[in-house]
Every structure is written in C-alpha cells, then in structure tokens.
C-alpha cells in the first residue's frame, strides 16, 4: 500500500497551508508518547532504532516528538526558523513504518527515522521545492529526487523541508546566509544573534537543535561544511557523482552534490550508505561505486593509526588565536592516535592556481536552472522570468539585497562558448594538482579549520566570512570532505575539515570518526540570546 494512503486513517488534517503548515491531529491521545520529549535530544540513529525495534516507542510517537519540538522552537521560543515547511504526510509514513515493523519488513537503520530535506530537493508529495525563492512558491514536484526515492525505499520518514540561503547563496554579492524570501532568516542555535552560515543553513541548525536526527544538505562550495562547522554538527560533502543530483535545483554540474548532516560521524555514514547510488539520469554517477559500499564498516576508533595527515601550514600563523589553539589541540590528538602529521602548503598553493570558479558556476547555473525550470511544476520556466519576478515583487523578494549573481548568470551564453570552455579547462589543472599533491606527499588526508566562529547576522551589509574555508579545494575538484566539531570559541562551535581523494569516502570517514571519538566536542546548543 502507498505510504500516503494512511493519511485519512490517522485523521491528519492540515490547516492554514502557509510557509510552515499548522498540523492538527484529530485523535491527539493516540500519538501521545509514553516517554519524555527530552528523549530525542542528541539521540542517534542506533539509539532510536533500538527503541523502535524493542517496541519501547513507535515511529508515529517518534515523529510526533520531533513535530512537537519543531512546534516549540522553530517559530516560537527562540524562533530558530530552520524548518520552512512540514510534510502533511509525515505521520502517515510513520504509521506505515510501524505496520511494516510489525510484519518484520524493516529495510535498514533509517526505517522509521524522521529526516529533514533542504528546500532545493524535490519530493513527489504535497511539499514545495523552491530554493527559498518566492518566485518558485508554486512549485510542487511531480516525483522524488533520486536520493529522496532512496530514503523512502529505506523507510525514512520525510518530516519536512529546511530553510536555506536563497538559491543556495547564488543570488547576490551581498547576500545573508540563512535568509530566503520564502522562509525568512534562520538563526544559529548557539547564539540567536549569530549566523548559521549556508547555504544548508536550516539543515545545520535543525540537526543541531534536535529537530531531527538526520538532515540532507547540498554543497557547491562550502554549503554543507560551513553550516556544519558553525552549528556544531558533522557534515559529509561526498565526491561529485557518489550521490545523484537528479531532482535537485542546480547551481553547477561540475561541483554540486548532496550529503548528510548529522550529530555524529556514525549517523552520517549510515545516511551516506543509504543515499549513494548510480543514477542513469546523472552522468556524474557513472564513475561511482554506487550502493556497493557500507560506510559504517570504516568506523573504527583506531582509524588514525598509521595514517599520514597533511596539516595546512597557513593556519598555523595568523587568524584568530582561539581557533589556532583549537587547531593545535586537534593536531596533538591526531598524533596521539597514531597518525603521522606533516605540515603542507596545500590550500595556499591551490589558491594560486587561479581557478575561475565564479565564471564556470554562472554559466552552469543558467544552463542548469533553465533545464530544471523547463520541466518544473511552476509557472516560472526560465531564469529570466525569476529575475523579472523579483523585480516585480521587489518589496518582498529583495528587501535586503539584490540579484546581481542571477543577472550576471543570465548574461552568460551557452556552454559551448569559448569563454566557458577555457575556464572549465582550468578545473582539469586543479584536479591534476590535487591528485598529484596527495600522491607526492603520500597523504591519506589534508586537514584544517573549516571556518571561524559564526558572525552576527547583518541584513544590511551581508555575510562576513572568517577567511578559513579549508574545504575549498575539495569543493572545486569534486572530491570528498568531512566536517567534525573541533571545539568552541566563546561558546561558538568551530569545525575541522578533513579532505580526501575521489571516491575515498570510506577511509576519510574512518579518520573523521577516530578524531571524533577521541575528542567528542559536540555539545547541545542552549539558544543563548548572544555570546555574552
């Protein structure tokens, strides 16, 4: 039976279908959990799965606990604004999961586990897919993105969509991370006046605030790493092609990927195992090992022993003294756990290559968005119409910053133009440098700070990035990277980035896990008004 068919059975009624629908339950007592809602705070997939398996909680009860927490903290209380829309079918899916469990038809560790998705990922249900843009507020996809179909097949409960930096932060040179015209401003759960970074802002904040155990983000350049770092969670940016991009509103076919955002490396490995796969509609996935690898098999606390880790030298001088102290502590941990560490000038050398990423992304954004919109279930059918919509509705669509990047992208020509092809050719040079650097230095990974501490949200002047951004080379070259919490500066999380080579997620996850287990820096946020 289709999961949606349970909707009427459980008496789920949706009223006031706005940005975040109000969900009312006809027979509330049916779903009242027998355990405290505090149970879900910091709960891992394995912990939740154990209680589901032993019957101490049902998937309906678990889903309701997360819905209650979102209701209490997303628009009320600290008003985190991380969730842009709830799935009216969430409890119906959960009920089917419970029925399958009784029939011993569970299909994996995500069965019955609520998951939040970034609002640029298609779901073939009643939810919208808008990239946070008012221009696409009518867009309800006709089918699931490939990765969403895999989550459904694994029995995950699709809980809702998360807010993001509008158009995945590819709209303005003065944009504000975590703000979208459809969803408003997401806040950082550690200090509500500070920014959650982006563009997977809502996914990072939601996981950190325990609105879910699992969220999916997307990255072109830092959009999983930065929000993972400043929200104190784990994020995996996979090799481009390991996870299909079909059904995701694109920026760049060269750099785009989706990946898991969780509170632990183990949970991220579980999710990556689920969503990886070869998709005939995404040519980049042809080189992928697909679903043949269980990434949890790489989870060993001894995974650092015998590894050779490159330590980015440029971060050992300058920068914030407190971040430097955390970085040095992290290096000491790597050594203590048996890794050989060598100072390298990787990021600085990479940055000297002169990659014209902005140009490539603008060309590919126009091409990709036009292709997506031409088939989308929206009245807006091309990028030029998005631009005009924003001009016609400027008071709501552009109250704080403009759309220079959209307009610059629209001015680009086809992907056959020499200007694009010449810029794209530099990517081959970058990939060659990346691979040869790892090989010549005999490195298993390179690491450095993902970001500095989150800045105060400033809707007038825009973002103020810290100048770290260790993840950049992996993003440009389409290679994997993992963010793990590295510690705190004045109560604000700082992450460390581990970079690897193409399709070597397994060993990289092992390194990240060993570091995580040796340090365990993750700390639950308390929704402070400010750092002081």
- Asked about 5 being catalytic, the answer comes back as no
Instruction: Identify the CA nearest to 155 among candidates 93, 88, 66, 99.
Output: 93
CA distance 124 to 127: 8
Q: C-alpha angle with apex 465: 231 to 412, nearest 5 degrees? A: 110
Give whole-number Cα distances, 105 to 40, 84, 96, 112, 526, in Å.
Answer: 24, 32, 11, 11, 38
From the candidates 172, 199, 244, 246, which is the catalytic residue? 199
CA distance 31 to 10: 10
Structure tokens at 463: 């973002």
The phi, psi pair for 345, rounded to 5°, reads -110, 70
From the candidates 223, 229, 246, 378, which is the catalytic residue? 223
- Asked about 418 being catalytic, the answer comes back as no
- Asked about 56 being catalytic, the answer comes back as no
From the candidates 118, 253, 366, 412, which is the catalytic residue? 118
Give whole-number Cα distances, 53 to 50, 75, 109, 327, 479, in Å.
Answer: 5, 33, 10, 40, 37
- CB neighbour list of residue 515: distance below 8 Å, 6 or more residues apart: 304, 330, 333, 334, 337, 484, 496, 498
Q: Reduced to 3 states, what is the DSSP secondary structure of residue 162? A: strand
- What is the DSSP annotation of 503-520? T-HHHHHHHHHHHHHHH-
- What are the residue numbers of the active site? 118, 199, 223
């Amino acid at each position: 039976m289709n999961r949606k068919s349970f909707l009427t059975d459980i008496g789920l009624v949706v009223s006031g279908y706005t940005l975040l629908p109000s969900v009312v339950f006809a027979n509330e007592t049916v779903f009242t959990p027998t355990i405290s809602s505090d149970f879900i705070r910091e709960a891992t997939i394995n912990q939740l799965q154990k209680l589901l398996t032993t019957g101490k909680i049902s998937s309906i009860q678990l889903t309701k606990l997360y819905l209650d927490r979102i209701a209490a903290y997303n628009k009320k209380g600290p008003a985190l604004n991380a969730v842009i829309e709830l799935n009216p079918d969430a409890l119906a899916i959960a009920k089917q999961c419970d029925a399958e469990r009784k029939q011993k038809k569970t299909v994996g560790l995500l069965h019955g586990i609520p998951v939040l998705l970034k609002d640029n990922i298609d779901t073939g249900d009643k939810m919208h897919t808008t990239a946070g843009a008012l221009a696409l507020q009518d867009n309800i996809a006709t089918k699931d993105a490939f990765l969403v179909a895999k989550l459904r097949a694994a029995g995950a409960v699709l809980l809702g969509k998360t807010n993001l930096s509008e158009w995945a932060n590819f709209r303005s040179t003065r944009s504000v991370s975590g703000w979208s015209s459809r969803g408003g401003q997401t806040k950082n759960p550690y200090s509500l006046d500070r920014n959650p970074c982006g563009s997977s802002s809502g996914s990072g904040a939601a996981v950190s605030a325990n609105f879910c155990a699992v969220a999916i983000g997307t990255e072109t350049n830092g959009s999983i790493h930065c929000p993972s770092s400043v929200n104190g969670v784990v994020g995996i940016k996979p090799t481009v092609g390991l996870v299909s991009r079909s059904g995701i509103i694109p920026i760049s076919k060269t750099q785009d990927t989706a990946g898991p955002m969780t509170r632990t490396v183990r949970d991220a490995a579980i999710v990556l195992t689920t969503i990886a796969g070869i998709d005939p509609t995404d040519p980049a996935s042809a080189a992928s090992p697909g679903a043949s690898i269980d990434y949890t098999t790489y989870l060993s606390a001894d995974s650092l022993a015998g590894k050779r880790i490159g330590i980015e030298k440029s971060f050992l001088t300058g920068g914030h003294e407190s971040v430097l102290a955390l970085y040095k502590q992290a290096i000491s941990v790597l050594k203590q756990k048996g890794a050989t560490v060598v100072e390298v000038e990787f990021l600085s050398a990479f940055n000297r290559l002169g990659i014209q990423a902005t140009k490539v992304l603008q060309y590919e954004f126009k091409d990709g968005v036009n292709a997506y919109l031409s088939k989308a279930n929206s009245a807006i059918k091309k990028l030029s119409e998005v631009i005009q919509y924003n001009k016609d509705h400027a008071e709501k669509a552009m109250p704080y910053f403009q759309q220079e990047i959209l307009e610059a992208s629209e001015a680009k020509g086809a992907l056959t133009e020499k200007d694009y092809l010449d810029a794209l050719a530099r990517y081959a040079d970058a990939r060659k440098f990346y691979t040869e650097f790892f090989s010549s230095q005999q490195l298993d990974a390179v690491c450095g700070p993902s970001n500095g501490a989150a800045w105060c949200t400033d809707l007038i002047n825009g973002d103020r990035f810290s100048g770290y951004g260790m993840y950049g080379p992996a993003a440009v070259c389409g290679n994997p990277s993992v963010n793990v919490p590295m510690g705190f500066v004045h109560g604000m999380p700082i992450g460390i980035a581990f970079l690897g080579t193409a399709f070597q997620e397994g060993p990289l996850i092992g390194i990240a896990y060993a570091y995580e287990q040796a340090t365990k820096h993750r700390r639950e946020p308390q929704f402070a008004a400010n750092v002081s």
